[in-house]
Amino acid sequence: MPRFSPTTPDAVVDLVVDRIAALEGRCVVAVDGADAASPITLADKVSGRLRASGRAAAVISLHGWVRPASLRLEYGHEDELSYRTVWFDYDGLRREVLESVRRHGRWLPAIWDERTDRSARVSMVDASENQVILVAGPMLLGRGLEFDLTVAATLTERTASRLTPENQRWTVPALTTHAAQSEPADIEVKMDHPDRPALLVER
């Protein structure tokens, strides 16, 4: 049975920063988690700490990699299978971020504007020699994406339902199903109580 150890938000950031510090050159880190687990917040804190130490770091939100509404809503606004399989452009993320930063030394911050349902219209960004890119969002694991480090901010299904806005709660079963089918992260942090996270220490 998995064993978790109580920790603090700052200690979680310290752990992730330390693991990234051991990675040389350009690297891409996944901060996987439902929106209710606030993966962007964690990624922003890690990024800030890295920049303060002198290492280039940037955060990419997976919500900048949604597919056009005509594709993701083809089977309705609350189709769980669509949410798991076609909602986000993981292939584009692989091509324009993970592969591009490693092969060409540049990366694309976003591809689609979820609010306006139009192209994000952003330019490629040159990567420094020690660039760290943190990709934050749901269902990043289990996609065959070759991240250099993976972090999972997890919630119980009950907590996820409580913290997710009512009009988005239909996504919770999809998130739970995907998590059950995905490989474990390098670092897993239970975020049911954000001010009192718990670190997975034994599977």
CATH code of the domain in which 84 resides: 3.40.50.300
pLDDT single digits (tens) 24-39? 999 999 999 999 999 9
The residue ranges of the chain whose pLDDT is under 50 are: none
pLDDT single digits (tens) 101-112? 999 999 999 999
| Count of structural domains, the chain | 1
pLDDT of residue 202: 80
The model carries a pTM of 0.96
Residue 101 sits in which domain range?
A: 3-202
DSSP annotation string for 42-56: HHHHHHHHHHHTT--
DSSP annotation string for 10-68: HHHHHHHHHHHHTS-SSEEEEEE--GGG-HHHHHHHHHHHHHHTT--EEEEEGGGGBPP
